[in-house]
Structure 1
C-alpha cells in the first residue's frame, strides 16, 4: 500500500474533520498500517512543539498520537496564527517567517508555498503506507480555490480521493453535501468519492432514504454515519470543546475523591492560545473547569487561570476593561490562587516591553509577580523538563516574551509569590504527579477539602479517547471501502453534477 492516502474534507469548519482524521489514523494503525496525518495549512492558536523544536498545530500532534508516530513539521508545514481579524503570523516548517495580512497571503504568498506542502506530503508518502490528510474549512470556498493548498489543491496534486464530512447535528447536511460537490470544478469533483455523516442522533434507518436520494443526485455513496459521541476530549483547532470528562462549561462528571469539588475559572482572554492546558485539570475527578469573562464569575473560583494568548498586551487591556484585572488583584491580596501560563504569566508581571507583537512599547502589568518581560523578535520553541513541587514535569514553550524573574520562589521557569504562580510552560499539568501536587497546594490555599485522585493518568485517558475514535470509524463506517479508496484512489466515472465554480482552475 506504500504511499496511499485520503483527504478528509468538510462541508464547514468544525464539521469534525480533525476527529475523523484521528479516528481513521487510529483504526488504520490497529490494522497494522503505518500511517501518518497531514494538514498542508492550518489556522489555529492551539499549537505544539515537536521534539526537533518545530511548531505545528495541536490537532496534528493529536492525530500523530492517534497514528502512534512522533509528530514532525512535515505533518503541518504551514501554520497560520491569527494576531487580529486581518493578519496572521506565518509559521513555515515549524519556524515563524513573518506576519502577513489575509489579502497578502491569499493574494499570492499562499500559492508559492504549494511546492513546500507537496514536498512534505511526498516525503511522508515515501516512508508510510498511508497518509490521511485533513482539509480546512470547506473545499467549496470558491473565492479561495485558485490558491488553495490544503483542500482540493493538495488532493489534485497528490491524486488523493476525497471524503467529505458533514455535521448533521447542525441541520441541512444533505444540502451541504450536494452544494459542496456541485460548486467544484469537474477535475475536483472527479476526486470526491463520497461522504461521511458525523454527529448523528437517533434511528439511522430514518436517515437511510435520504442517503439513497443523495446517491441518486450525486452518484456518490455515503461511507458511514458516525453517531454523536459525548465527552471526546480531543485537541481541535480553536473552538472551546469538551474536556476528557465532560463539557468545560458544564458541571463536574466524575465525583470528587475528597469532601469538596475544586472550581477552576479560566479567563477567556482575546486571541486565547493553548487553552488545552486546562484539559488535564478537567480530567481530574471533582474538578470543575469553566471559561469566564466577567469578574463576578471569579468570586466562587478556587483557582483562576490566565491562559496563553497571541496578544498579551491586548489581553491585559481586556482584563482591565472587563474589571477582571481588579478581581485578580483582590484575589492575590486575599491569598486566593491564581495561575498564569505563557501570555497569562507575562500579564501578571510588573511590566512588558513589546516592540514585536503589539508594538505598544512599555506597558505596566498587574504587578502580582516580580517579573519583567521583553518581547524578542525570535520565538522561543522548546520542550523543557524539570522538577517542581517535588515532582517530575515536562512541557513545551511557544513565546516571544523573555521573562526576567527578579524574586519570588522558583516555579518551573517562572516564579511563585504566595498563591500566585506563573510559568511559560504549556502542558505541564499533563504530568500526573505534578498536577496532583499543584492541586493539593491550590486546595490548601483555597480552604477546600479536595483530594486529587491518586490514579488519574492523563495520558491513559487520552489513549482511551483516541481508541473511542478508532472504534467509531471501525463500527460505523464502511472500512473495507475506505481502505480501497486509500489504496486505489477515487473510482473512475464519477458523474459531474453541476457547473463548476467560476474561476476555478481547470
Structure 2
C-alpha cells in the first residue's frame, strides 16, 4: 500500500520545495520507491519530461533527488502566467487553455479534480511513498472552496500533513497558530507535525517557543531546519526575487548579466553557470546597474511583446546596443531569441492572429512564433563558430520559425538536419529557442573558456565538476540536514511506516 506525506506551508516561499526535495532523497536512500507530487503548480520555470510533457521544474528536481524519472502525473496541473490575470493552463503536460484567473477557478475545478485523482492513482500503483507538496497556504479563506493544491489533495491521498513555517521572515509561531485556527476541524486533524524552517540562531533560545507552540496546539514540532543556502532551482516569483547569485569578487571572473524581464521564464537555463568556477551570474533590472559585463543574456519570456515594451521604456535597447558595439557578447534564449531579431510575430487575441513587432535588430532575422504548443526534447550539434560539432540536447516549445535571414548562420542543427537559432558571423550575437542548453557540459565548458580567454584568463580548470554532479551532492546535503534536524522516525510513525 502506498503511503503519503504532505508538506503544506503557512505562506508561499517558506521552503516547501526544498524540504520535499530533501524528503525525496531521504526516502530514496532508505530504500523506498518514492515519487514527488504537486497537484497544481504556478511556475515561472518548467521542465519537459522524456515523453514531451511539461511540468513544474521543482517536481523534476524532486524526481531526480528521488532517483526516478519525472512524469506528467507528478504535476498534473501547471499554471503559467502569461499577462495580467491571464494564465496558460497545462493539463498532464499538454496545453489546455489560456484563461482569466477567475474563470479558471470557477470552470476548471471539476476537470482539475478528476486529473489530480487519476494522477494519484497512477503514481500509487508504481511507488511505495508519495511526497506531496502544497501550494501557498491552506488557510486562504477566500480561495479554499476551490483549492486544488492543499487540504483537498491531502484528503484524496489520505495523507497526514506537516506544516512548514519560515522563521527567517519572522512571525513563525503566529503563522502556525493562525493557520491552524483557520482550518476546518477535519482539516486540522490531518496536521500531525510542524517543521520550523530557515533557522539561523541558537537552538536553545528557541526551545521555550517550541514548548509553548506544542502546548498551545497539541501538535509536535518535528524539527528545526537551518537556513540552507543551496541554490535549488527557483520556481515562483517570490523565490526569484530573493534569489542570490554570485556576489562580486576580487578574483578575475567572467561576468554574465541576465536582463530581469517582467515576464522572465526558464531562468533555470542559466543555473549551471552559477555553479561554474570563476563565473559571476547576475540578474539585472536597471540599465544603470549593468556595468560592462562580458555577456548580456535576454532570457526566456512568457510575454515577449510586453517585455519588449518594458525594454524600450527603461532604455535597455540603447544600452544593450551600446554594449554590443563595445564588444560585449549578446545571447537570446527562448523568447529572448525573438527579441534579438529585426521583427518577430506572435499569436495575439482569441483568434490567434499574428502580431508583428520590431525587435532589437541585433540579428538580421525575422522570426515567427506560430503558437505551436507541442513540447519536445531535441538533440543535435552546435554550429556556433567556437563550438562547431559539439553535441547538444535540451527541450523546446514554441520554436521560432525564421521567416527571412539575410544569410545568417544557424546556431544549431538537429539530428533531422533541421536548422535552429541564429548566430552572427563573428559569434558576438546568437540566439536559440532551446532550453536546457547549458546543462550540456561540453558546450558550456567551451563557451566559458571563450569568455575566460577574452578576459585574459586561463581556460577552465580540468577538475571542474559538472552541474549534474554538483546537484547530486546538493541532494545528499539536504538529506543529511534532514537526518540531523528532523525526527524522521516520528515521520515514519505518522505515515504508518517502519524503517526498512
Task: State whether residues 32 and 128 of structure 2, in contact with CA within 8 Å, keep that contact through their aligned partners in structure 1.
Answer: yes
Alignment-derived partner of residue 478 in structure 1? 487
- 2:86 maps to 87
Q: Select the residue among 418, 423, 426 that pairs with 1:416.
A: 423
**Equivalent-residue separation in structure 1 for 2:399 and 2:381 (angstroms):** 24
Q: Which residue of 2 aligns with 1:375?
A: 369
User: 1:55 deviation in Å?
Assistant: 0.4
Matches within 5 A, 1:321-400: 321-356=313-348, 361-388=355-382, 389=387, 390-399=389-398
Bigger relative CO (Cα 8 Å, ≥ 6 apart): 1
CA gap 1:77/1:458 in 2 versus in 1, 3 angstroms: same
8 A Cα contact 1:77 1:93, kept in partner: yes
CA distances 1:28-61 after superposition (whole Å, capped 9, x unpaired):
0000010000000000120010000000000010
Aligned to 1:251: 248
Instruction: Write out per-residue CA displacement over residues 427-461 of structure 1, whole angstroms, 9 at most, x where no aligned residue.
Output: 111211110111223344x4442532332311101
Paired position in structure 2 for 1:427: 436
Is the Cα contact below 8 Å between 2:395 and 2:435 reproduced in 1? Answer: yes
Contact 2:365 2:408 in 1 (8 A): no
- Normalised by the length of structure 2, the TM-score is 0.92
Change (3 A) 1:269 1:232: closer
Counterparts of residues 177-196 of structure 1 (less than 5 Å): 177-196=176-195
Q: Deviations over 1:129-155 (max 9, x none)?
A: 000110000000111111111100111
Shifted more, 194-203 versus 405-414: the winner is: 405-414
Name which of 267, 277, 302 aligns with 1:310.
302
Contact 1:87 1:100 in 2 (8 A): yes
Cα distance between partner residues in 2 of 1:147 and 1:453: 53
- Report 1:133-282 matches (<5 A): 133-238=132-237, 239-240=239-240, 247-248=244-245, 250-251=247-248, 260-282=252-274
**1:160-206 Cα shifts (integer Å, max 9, x gaps):** 10001111001110011111111011111111112101011121111
Native 8 Å contact 2:346 2:371 kept in 1: no
Q: CA deviation at 1:377?
A: 2.9
Alignment map for 1:453-468 (pairs within 5 Å):
453-454=461-462, 455-468=464-477
Select between 288-297 and 29-38 the one with higher mean Cα deviation. 288-297
Q: Distance in 2 between matches of 1:17 and 1:188?
A: 19
Structure 1 residue 249, shift from structure 2 partner? 5.6
1-structure distance, mates of 2:102, 2:7: 26
Deviates more, 1:434-443 or 1:222-231: 434-443
Q: 1:448 to 1:291 in 2, by over 3 A?
A: farther
SS at match of 1:113: helix
TM-score (norm 1): 0.90
Q: Is the 8 A contact 1:272 1:307 kept in 2?
A: yes
Pairwise CA distance, 1:235:
4.2
Name stretches of at least 5 consecutive residues in structure 1 with no aligned partner.
Answer: 490-506
Report the Cα offset of residue 89 of structure 1.
Answer: 0.3
Contact 2:94 2:374 (8 Å CA) reproduced: no
Q: Superposed, which structure 2 residues align to 1:31-46 within 5 Å?
A: 31-46=30-45
Query: Alignment partner for residue 290 of structure 1, among 273, 282, 286?
Result: 282
More moved, 332-341 vs 178-187: 332-341
8 A contact 1:22–1:62 mirrored in 2: yes
Task: Encode CA deviations 1:390-427: one digit per residue, 9 max, x unaligned.
Answer: 42222111336434462333212212113001011111
Distance in 2 between the 1:428 and 1:470 partners? 28
Q: Measured at CA, do residues 85 and 486 of structure 1 come closer, stay the same or move farther in structure 2, by a change above 3 Å?
A: farther
Change in Cα spacing, 1:372 to 1:137, as seen in structure 2 (3 Å) is same
Cα-Cα RMSD: 2.0
State whether residues 379 and 400 of structure 1, in contact with CA within 8 Å, keep that contact through their aligned partners in structure 2.
no
Q: CA deviation at 1:14?
A: 0.2
Q: Distance in 2 between matches of 1:111 and 1:165?
A: 28
TM-superposed CA distance for 1:229, in Å, is: 1.4
How many residue pairs match? The answer is: 479
Judge conservation of contact 2:292–2:323 (CA < 8 Å) in 1: no
